[in-house]
Amino acid sequence: MAEVDVEKQRMVAVKSSRRKFWGKLLLVLYIVFIGFDNTYLGSSFSPFSFIPGFFNSEETGLNCPANKPLTPDFKNSLDTILFDPEYKDKSIKRLSNAVRIPTVVQDINPDPKEDIEYYNNFFKLHDYFKDTFPLVHKNLKLEKVNEVGLLYTWEGSNKELKPLLFMAHQDVVPVNNDTLDQWTYPPFEGHYDEENDFVWGRGSNDCKNLVIAQFEAIEQLLEDGFKPNRTVLLSFGFDEEAGGQLGAGPLAQFIRERYGDDSLYAILDEGEGLTKIDDNTYIAAPVNAEKGYVDVEITVMGKGGHSSVPPDHTNIGIAAKIVTLIEDNKSPFKMTLDNPLYGTLVCAAEHSTKIDAQFRKTILAARKCKSAMKRLTRVIAGIPILRDLIRTTTAVDIFQGGVKANALPESAKFLVNHRIDLKSSVEETLQEDIKMVQKIAEKYNFGVTRDGEQIIRPITENGSIDVSISKALEPAPRSPTSGKVWDILAGTVVDVFENNFFKKDNGSVYVTSGLFSGNTDTKHYWVLSPNIYRFIGSVIDPELAKTLHSVNEHVDMPGHLSAVAFVYEYILNVDQYGDE
């Protein structure tokens, strides 16, 4: 049988899914909170009936209340960052020039110790950082981890306080050369479109904008004379787009060896921003949880032979029957009150006048009524772009088998990628696949093994079916959405936007929980802090978000500047209000 690089194919398949993820999630929020109507429920939808007076917000109180804005005493530069034309011009140049350096990674990349030249563009980016942010490089300690990963340490005066960590990644996804003529501006030109106030190019929105925002915020704090009590860390991986094994993984271990488990005050990485849900009303949903995943390899090993005398089902046919059974028996939908998506929905229901009225009642009633929660689950299950957030997903991504038309395949192998629901686990997901395999094995008289060793069903004369895990990650620990750490985060968001960014429009901001179906580099950092949030301080434009990892990726400058302002003020607020 021809040799096939399974891991490479798996990574290609997973990567393809991830490239669609960011725009998909943001489109979800747009449809639910801005454009939701019965169209999305299908033609069979009928309005729900409710007992009059079942939900009374005055009696029960809001579950998505307004957060108190938190303003630091330090005389800060928020107005300069957000509204000064000269500062904006400099920021445009800083971001544009970073985009021009093509720090591209593939799905599989060499270890820097084995091929350092592969990362030459990253070293150009490092030189650019040094030239562009002189105060950062004068006052912060820079350490390189695994040659290319960057760890900056801004030492605080109080060593008893846990450090605050900001994350981002230096790498960007490749550009498909076949699409070059579809780009409005060349992908690595870093073009600034003055008319629309956009910076264009690969990495402009994922996520060199965040790297630059974090640098700009600290550079400005240093220029303003701020000296932190609490140590601040910047950790920049270089292969997030390929899983972070070479970048974030070693960086996390380096930090762990220095500070220990549960040693960081909080961790902030790329993630969700603010979504407009009504006129001058916005939801900010820092992502406080991530689904898990597991790649399950299923291999049918049986008899070969000449195709002129075939059995009723070849090994490929047996494998196909397993695939069909697995796809026809997907995991059930499970909506719960502690799913971060529910927090987002409640916020929209309580503060948006544009959300469908019956959908609003269902969301709010689900807090007290099991039947309402079941109805809400059915509604979400009927919305393709929402349903994956409340179940374990199943995707058969890779299939191998056969080498010649007249030779029966002696084996057939396929890979199933699951994104695991928050209430499930790797083992539970695997066992569901094993159940499906056993059913086919019993029907067609095959044995079943796990990892080629544990015999689940005795091997027969027809052969055996092996089930094994090639890669796995449990669902992420859920970070708290109450308490002092959360209040400082939420209070900073409200102050930056309500009292500054939106002050002319009297915009309102509500902060709630959020959920990803994918994973960020934070998966390597779980042991370092219980307070991990994936958030960027920008208002998300759904149309702009569609360009992530795609043609015409670009970022709006007001959004970039607000991200700078958020990092700037969050450091100040944590330093002032976050003493343990």
DSSP letters spanning 184-243: SS-TTS--EETTTTEEESTTTTTTHHHHHHHHHHHHHHHHTT---SS-EEEEEES-GGGT
Residue 38 pLDDT grade (very low, low, confident, very high; cuts 50, 70, 90): very low
- Residue 143 is encoded by which pair of tokens? 């350490």
Residue 40 pLDDT grade (very low, low, confident, very high; cuts 50, 70, 90): very low
Q: In this structure, which amino acid lies at residue 55?
A: F
pLDDT reported for residue 61:
59
Phi/psi at 43 (5° precision): -70, -20
Residue 28 in this model has a pLDDT that exceeds 70: no
Residue 26 in this model has a pLDDT that exceeds 80: no
Residue 2 in this model has a pLDDT that exceeds 80: no
Please, which residues bridge with residue 129 across strands?
none
pLDDT reported for residue 47:
28
Residue 27 in this model has a pLDDT that exceeds 80: no
269 among annotated binding-site residues? yes
Using CB atoms within 10 A of its CB, is residue 367 exposed (0-12), middle (13-18) or buried (19+)? middle
CA-nearest of 422, 420, 535 to 477 is 422
Residues 93-100 have a mean pLDDT of 98
Q: What percent of the chain has pLDDT over 70?
A: 89
Residues 186-202 have a mean pLDDT of 97
DSSP-derived letter for residue 115 is -
Residues 453-473 have a mean pLDDT of 96
Residues 119 and 147 sit within 8 Å (Cβ to Cβ) = yes
**Of all helices (H) and strands (E), which one includes residue 454?**
strand 454-457
Phi/psi at 460 (5° precision): -110, 180
CA-nearest of 356, 343, 422, 420 to 383 is 356
Phi/psi at 297 (5° precision): -100, 130
Residue 384 in this model has a pLDDT that exceeds 90: no
Q: What is the CATH number of domain 77-174+206-277+483-578?
A: 3.40.630.10
pLDDT reported for residue 314:
96
Reported as a single tens digit per residue, the pLDDT across 121-144 is: 999 999 999 999 999 999 999 999
* 427 contacts: CB under 8 Å, gap ≥ 6: none
pLDDT reported for residue 483:
95
* 246 contacts: CB under 8 Å, gap ≥ 6: 109, 111, 112, 146, 148, 149, 238, 239
Of 162-166, 330-334, 538-542, the one with minimum mean pLDDT is 538-542
* 129 contacts: CB under 8 Å, gap ≥ 6: 136, 137, 150, 215
**Of all helices (H) and strands (E), which one includes residue 254?**
helix 248-259
Using CB atoms within 10 A of its CB, is residue 56 exposed (0-12), middle (13-18) or buried (19+)? exposed
Residues 507-523 have a mean pLDDT of 92
Active site positions, annotated: 171, 240
Residue 383 in this model has a pLDDT that exceeds 90: no
The pLDDT mean for the chain works out to 89
* 561 contacts: CB under 8 Å, gap ≥ 6: 81, 82, 87, 88, 91
DSSP letters spanning 471-538: EEEPPPPPPPSSSHHHHHHHHHHHHHIIIIITTTTT-EEEE--EEESS--GGGG-GGG-S-EEEEEEE
Residues 412-436 have a mean pLDDT of 97
| Rounded Cα–Cα distance for residues 351 and 174 (Å) | 40
Where in the sequence of the chain do the CATH 3.30.70.360 domains occur? 292-331+392-473
206 among annotated binding-site residues? yes
pLDDT reported for residue 312:
92
313 among annotated binding-site residues? no
- Stronger pLDDT, 37 or 512, i.e. the higher one: 512
Residue 396 in this model has a pLDDT that exceeds 70: yes
| Rounded Cα–Cα distance for residues 11 and 470 (Å) | 12
Q: In this structure, which amino acid lies at residue 163?
A: P
Residues 45-50 have a mean pLDDT of 29
Cα 39–Cα 44–Cα 47 angle in degrees, nearest 5 = 75
| Rounded Cα–Cα distance for residues 298 and 414 (Å) | 6
Residues 536-558 have a mean pLDDT of 90
pLDDT reported for residue 580:
61
| Residue matched to tokens 């090994």 | 315
pLDDT reported for residue 544:
80
Where in the sequence of the chain do the CATH 3.40.630.10 domains occur? 77-174+206-277+483-578
Of 25-34, 111-120, 283-292, 534-543, the one with minimum mean pLDDT is 25-34
pLDDT reported for residue 541:
85
CA dihedral 120, 125, 126, 131 (to 10 degrees): 130
- Residue 575 is encoded by which pair of tokens? 């330093």
Residue 543 pLDDT grade (very low, low, confident, very high; cuts 50, 70, 90): confident
Residues 278-290 have a mean pLDDT of 95
* 3-state SS assignment for residue 88: helix
- Residue 235 is encoded by which pair of tokens? 């950790």
Residues 301-310 have a mean pLDDT of 93
**pTM, rounded to two decimals:** 0.86
Q: What percent of the chain has pLDDT over 90?
A: 84
Residue 13 pLDDT grade (very low, low, confident, very high; cuts 50, 70, 90): very low
Q: How far out from the chain centre does Cα 25 lie?
A: 9
- Stronger pLDDT, 293 or 52, i.e. the higher one: 293
Residue 319 in this model has a pLDDT that exceeds 80: yes
- CATH code matching the domain that covers 292-331+392-473, chosen among 3.30.70.360, 3.40.50.720, 3.10.110.10, 3.40.630.30: 3.30.70.360
Residue 17 pLDDT grade (very low, low, confident, very high; cuts 50, 70, 90): very low
pLDDT reported for residue 31:
41
Residues 86-109 have a mean pLDDT of 97
Q: In this structure, which amino acid lies at residue 151?
A: L
Secondary-structure breakdown of the chain: helix, strand, coil percentages, each rounded to the nearest 5: 40, 20, 35
pLDDT reported for residue 63:
86
Residues 452-465 have a mean pLDDT of 95
Reported as a single tens digit per residue, the pLDDT across 240-249 is: 999 999 999 9
DSSP letters spanning 398-425: EEEE-S-TTEE-SEEEEEEEEEE-TT--
Residues 368-397 have a mean pLDDT of 94
- Stronger pLDDT, 28 or 351, i.e. the higher one: 351
Residue 274 pLDDT grade (very low, low, confident, very high; cuts 50, 70, 90): very high
Residues 556-574 have a mean pLDDT of 98
Of 24-33, 178-187, 257-266, the one with minimum mean pLDDT is 24-33
